[in-house]
Amino acid sequence: MASERIIADAIMSPVLRDFRSYKLISQNRTPKTVDEYVCDLRIFFKFIIANRGDLPVLGEEFENISLAGVNAEFIDSVQTTEIYDYQLYMRNERGNSARSLARKMSAIKSFYKYATVAVRICKNNPAKDIEGAFIRNSSPKFLTLDESAHLLDTVNGDTKCCTRLRDYAIILLFLNTGLRLSELVMINIEDFDREMTRINVIGKGRKERVVYINPACRNAIVDYLEERRDTPCVERGRHPLFLSTRGKRISNNAVQKRVEKYLTDAGFEYKKLSTHKLRHTAATLMYREGGVDVRVLQEILGHEQLNTTQIYTHVVNEDIERATMQNPLSRYRPKPKE
């Protein structure tokens, strides 16, 4: 329903409708990403209309503001100061975090670049010189090598569980390949090569990449497939790798719940980890323990920008700092002069 409301609002404004089509078709962005952009722009333009008309900026009256008047002339009239007002509004009135504000600014910047460069329906770009919201870079949460092994032992030891082999293969894949949750659940058996040494994966932005799997993962997958040989798959046309107990492709939510269960069983609930943190674990272990070059790691993880991958180098920098502080001379003080 929320998505339908977003699309309905976009259709009310031909400019937003065309922008949505441009992102989907010309830039090949995923519908989910594009709809998030449209939703952010919908709130932004409603705020501008409400602010100019001295209307409420929250509540039902705000939600019912029409975007029919958001045309080329209107978007060309938006001033930089109004964007700053919008940032304050989203932070103070709607309680948006810095990360949420950064995404909203990305939507506005993308829209105005489209309007002034791609289709040239306006000359004014009020977002050009506005910097995105500051996001504090924090080191990713992850499991150590020993903790990862303990998690796998916990899953493997759950012999009373009817989905043990499936769950073990899933968690092993996360920890060895750094796959995203959405990528893992969409794997089909036909995506493997004949020797089952690599998988063709569709990542963010519908970009395809090859993910190599090691013998441990391959053996776990083979064991799981052998066990589910007689389980009928109800999905037509494709052959999902991981099935639910009902024979359907396993859902994102189901995988998250299984991972959370085993993290709790292993005693790691205090770490507040998730499937995405298992991806962090894989990346950190490859960089930290395996000595994988950061640019190779970028390809493995399917990151478009290198700076996204470089967060994993911060972990090593912390190790360097810790090692430096453990030097026996780290607490040395010169003797006072007589």
Q: Catalytic positions, please? A: 180, 204, 276, 279, 303, 312
Do 184 and 170 touch, CB atoms closer than 8 A? yes
Q: Tokens 């080329």 map to which residue? A: 72
Phi, psi of 213 (to 5 degrees): -120, 140
Do 170 and 213 touch, CB atoms closer than 8 A? no
What is the 3-state composition of the chain as percent helix, strand, coil, each rounded to the nearest 5?
60, 5, 35
* CA atoms within a 13 Å half-sphere pointing along the CA-CB vector of 122: 20
Do 279 and 148 touch, CB atoms closer than 8 A? no
Handedness of CA 21, 27, 28, 29 (dihedral sign): negative
Closest by CA position to 184, among listed 259, 107, 260, 295: 259
